[in-house]
Amino acid sequence: MKRQKEHYIMLQCAADTQYGIPTRCLCGSRIINEVRGKEEYDTLPGKRFFTCKNYEDDGLHYRHPWVFGVQEKIERLTKRVKESEEVILLVAKLHKQIEHWRNRFKTSLSRFMSSRGSASTENRS
């Protein structure tokens, strides 16, 4: 019973990790690009898969359709691009604010220096 429970937990882990383009299988083997040959019953001949080198149909090895893997990867990359665009826009806004405060500081400093200079001139008189 315990062994069966461990097997089900491992199957669940395998199912949860099949997202995007896999680089390694759960068993540690490398992933190969498999192209299914033309078969009479297949409606999509030449269908591609990311498949474990030691694939067995026991649920513990990867055989992930190529289209789904690439689609999920594109979705993640699109999300990262949108996040990067937001950061770039924020950096531009911060740059404008820094320039604004730098100009205000320069103006205040020049006023202070000119008022200090006029005060020292009055003290000498």
The amino acid at residue 118 is: S
Domain count, the chain: 1
Give the tens place of pLDDT for each residue, 85-109: 999 999 999 999 999 999 999 999 9
Domain of 101? 2-124
Please tell me the predicted confidence (pLDDT) of residue 70: 82
Calpha distance 99→95 (Å, rounded): 6
pTM of the complete model: 0.51
The gap from C-alpha 60 to its chain's centroid, in whole angstroms, comes to 26
